[in-house]
Amino acid sequence: SQQGEEDPQALSIQEGENATMNCSYKTSINNLQWYRQNSGRGLVHLILIRSNEREKHSGRLRVTLDTSKKSSSLLITASRAADTASYFCATVLTGGGNKLTFGTGTQLKVEL
Amino acid sequence: GAVVSQHPSRVICKSGTSVKIECRSLDFQATTMFWYRQFPKKSLMLMATSNEGSKATYEQGVEKDKFLINHASLTLSTLTVTSAHPEDSSFYICSASGRGGWQETQYFGPGTRLLVL
């Protein structure tokens, strides 16, 4: 079964709106990371949040982590058409070295 | 920033041939490299983890004789798909992590699209 499952699977919004994606996982983690993938390309690392952190910001990105609920959210504020991509959460399990287990991904489309 | 390259970016081959994909870390020493496979509109599935100078560790269900991984130096890992068949067609992505501050984050290559006819 998937360690990380994301919802929604697909999200379509207008430019300027905020986009929120959620990620749930099953087992204890060391950290959780969010990645972005443009169609047919490699992944770009967006942000890492450790298990003892609750919230982190980077530019227009805000990530929260709730270890009691085993969930994380990624908020993109004031979205732009260029934010159109797939977004994946990935977890590093406790004792898992730095091996990443990816979620199912959310396909975000930002329309003009 | 950390840059990882892959070569080739796209390859088409005949069934039964072998294909080698290279993954290079350009500006840091990659003590660990990872190989992933991704099907269309799906997530990344880890195939194997390779540490420089040692044998790769394969994930359950991944045939090590089918997917040969070599991590001969701190900047280069190769994945060879041996006797490729159409079902091996996929998007293969590598990533690399290094020492110290480079350890937590994996830096991904741009991927290699393999089509086996």
Cβ–Cβ under 8 Å, residues B74 and B52: yes
B111 close contact with A: CB closer than 8 A = yes
- Picking from A42, A92, A103, the nearest residue to B43 by CB comes out as A103
Backbone angles phi, psi at B100, to 5 degrees: 55, -125
Spatial distance between the Cα atoms of B18 and B14, rounded to a whole number of angstroms: 9
- Cα separation, A18 vs A67, whole angstroms: 24
SS3 helix, strand, coil % of chain A, rounded to 5? 5, 60, 35
| Centroid of chain to Cα A60 | 13
Residue A8 has pLDDT above 70, yes or no: yes
> Which residues of chain A neighbour B6 with C-beta distances below 8 Å?
42
In the block, tokens 């169609």 appear at A39
Q: For residue range A30-41, what is the model confidence (pLDDT) as tens digits?
A: 999 999 999 888
Written as tens digits, the pLDDT of chain B (117 aa) is 689 999 999 999 999 999 999 999 998 888 899 999 998 888 899 999 998 888 899 999 999 999 999 988 889 999 999 999 999 999 999 999 887 555 678 899 999 999 999
Q: pLDDT tens digit string along A53-105?
A: 999 999 999 999 999 999 999 999 999 999 999 999 999 988 777 889 999 89
Give the pLDDT score at A57. Answer: 96
Rounded Cα–Cα distance for residues B80 and A54 (Å): 41
Q: Which residues of B touch A100 (CB under 8 A)?
A: 34, 46, 95, 106
Query: A21 and A73 in contact (C-beta within 8 Å)?
Result: yes
Closest-CA residue in chain B for A98?
Answer: B104
Which tokens go with A100? 């990443």
Going by C-alpha positions, the residue among B69, B4, B67 that lies closest to residue A42 is B4
Tell me what pLDDT residue B101 has.
56
Mean pLDDT of A37-52: 92
